[in-house]
């Protein structure tokens, strides 16, 4: 445990200011995320240095397709989340309180970084699996040590974080994949228990700070697959974040508390076409659909990266991430 940052005294408890929920937490209780507890008037981050998972993953698995393609990243996660998505694939860690899960021993930040440095071919550390925002103090501490050792830091998040903590994090984080779960407040609140507007603000803040940003949208039949709303979302991304913003369309599979049929290939192809009218780099994941996972240069059409599952072939990029044919800057390498 470690004292949490971003909280203040309130009339009936402690007010956590880490995310837009701004929970008021009375003594002995936790906030919505299950892992930040009021212990006798001090807000404690219960999962500090406690990991639920640690793996070396391809960076494409985050997914990040335009950031060090074909490389590996040490990926770590813990417990807790500030959303309650009905089809969370990681519900066993995202929705579990600390007492309900058997976590491993404590791993201090320097030890994680040392493991990252000793894994051959590893380019950095990804904070992922559950929601890393609710692991904020530990993520930030690891990211600082990692950055000072020239490792890259990657955050895979639902984007539900307050402005100030994100601002502090942006000094150390190199790349983000943010879930944009839908484009209506009603759906977002009903499906995740959190508002949409703060997520849009997070996306703009990351873009303004010029960090690498990719977005994932999980397409769920009958819940967020309205073509008009999806077109509004891709227009917003192009206008507010830029037409080169990478968008991953992800196929939904039943899990946790949602048993709707998986997304049809036809719907994913339809959404790919809609998104591609506005955005240069759109991919379809969680399914093998033609060549919708490959990267082509938006300027000259050259095939740059071939992806077959997690087999990655960098075919047409220079060492600095430009297209070998026309010199267009497409990726960070």
List interacting residues with ligand SF4 (CB under 6 A): 16, 18-19, 21-23, 31-33, 36, 81-85, 88, 90, 94, 130-131, 134, 158, 192
Nearer to ligand SF4, 49 or 130 (CB): 130
Q: Which of 68, 63, 8, 70 is nearest to 41 (CA)?
A: 8
Nearer to ligand SF4, 21 or 188 (CB): 21
Query: Strands of 175-179's sheet, edge to edge?
Result: 53-58, 72-77, 122-127, 152-157, 175-179, 212-219, 246-251, 282-285
Nearer to ligand SF4, 196 or 323 (CB): 196
CB of 164 to ligand SF4, least distance (A): 13
CB of 51 to ligand SF4, least distance (A): 16
CB of 296 to ligand SF4, least distance (A): 30
Alpha carbon 197 to chain centroid, angstroms: 17
Residue nearest to ligand SF4 (CB): 31
Nearer to ligand SF4, 139 or 274 (CB): 139
Strand intervals (E) in the chain? 2-3, 7-10, 13-16, 24-25, 36-39, 42-45, 53-58, 72-77, 122-127, 152-157, 175-179, 212-219, 246-251, 282-285, 295-296, 303-308, 311-314
Residues in the chain: 333
Nearer to ligand SF4, 16 or 274 (CB): 16
Nearer to ligand SF4, 21 or 68 (CB): 21
The CA distance from 216 to 64, in Å, is: 10
* φ/ψ (deg, to 5) at 39: -110, 100
Nearer to ligand SF4, 68 or 251 (CB): 251
Beta bridge partners of 178: 157, 215
CB of 161 to ligand SF4, least distance (A): 8
* φ/ψ (deg, to 5) at 168: -65, -40
* φ/ψ (deg, to 5) at 123: -100, -10
* Residue 218 buriedness (CB in 10 A; 0-12 / 13-18 / 19+): buried
Nearer to ligand SF4, 181 or 307 (CB): 181
CB of 166 to ligand SF4, least distance (A): 12
CB of 148 to ligand SF4, least distance (A): 26
CB of 8 to ligand SF4, least distance (A): 12
* φ/ψ (deg, to 5) at 30: -110, 170
In Å, how far are 137, 209, 305 from 78, measured between CA atoms?
12, 27, 32
User: Encoding tokens for residue 71?
Assistant: 């490389």
CB of 328 to ligand SF4, least distance (A): 33
Nearer to ligand SF4, 53 or 314 (CB): 53
CB of 188 to ligand SF4, least distance (A): 11
Question: ∠200-63-256 over CA atoms, to 5°?
Answer: 80
């Amino acid at each position: 445990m470690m004292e949490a940052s971003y909280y203040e005294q309130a009339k009936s408890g402690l007010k956590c200011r880490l995310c837009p929920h701004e929970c008021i937490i009375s003594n002995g209780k936790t906030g919505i995320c299950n892992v930040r507890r009021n212990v006798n008037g001090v807000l404690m981050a219960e999962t500090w240095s406690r990991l639920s998972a640690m793996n070396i993953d391809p960076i494409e698995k985050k997914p990040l397709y335009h950031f060090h393609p074909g490389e590996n990243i040490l990926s770590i996660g813990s417990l807790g989340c500030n959303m309650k998505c009905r089809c969370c694939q990681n519900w066993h860690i995202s929705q579990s309180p600390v007492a309900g899960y058997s976590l491993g021993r404590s791993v201090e930040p320097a030890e994680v970084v040392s493991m990252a440095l000793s894994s051959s071919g590893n380019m950095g550390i990804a904070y992922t699996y559950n929601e890393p925002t609710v692991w904020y103090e530990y993520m930030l501490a690891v990211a600082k040590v990692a950055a000072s050792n020239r490792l890259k830091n990657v955050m895979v998040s639902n984007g539900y974080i307050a402005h100030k903590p994100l601002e502090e994090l942006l000094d150390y984080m190199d790349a983000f994949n943010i879930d944009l779960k839908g484009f209506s407040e009603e759906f977002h609140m009903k499906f995740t228990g959190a508002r949409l507007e703060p997520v849009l603000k997070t996306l703009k803040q990351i873009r303004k700070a010029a960090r690498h940003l990719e977005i994932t949208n999980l397409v769920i039949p009958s819940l967020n697959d309205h073509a008009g709303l999806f077109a509004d979302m891709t227009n917003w991304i192009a206008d507010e974040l830029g037409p080169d913003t990478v968008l991953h369309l992800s196929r939904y599979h039943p899990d946790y508390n949602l048993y709707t049929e998986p997304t049809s290939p036809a719907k994913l192809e339809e959404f790919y076409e809609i998104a591609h009218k506005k955005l240069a780099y759109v991919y379809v994941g969680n399914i093998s659909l033609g060549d919708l996972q490959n990267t082509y240069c938006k300027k000259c059409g050259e095939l740059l990266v071939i992806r077959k599952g997690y087999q990655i072939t960098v075919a047409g990029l220079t060492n600095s991430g430009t297209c070998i044919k026309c010199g267009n800057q497409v990726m960070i390498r």
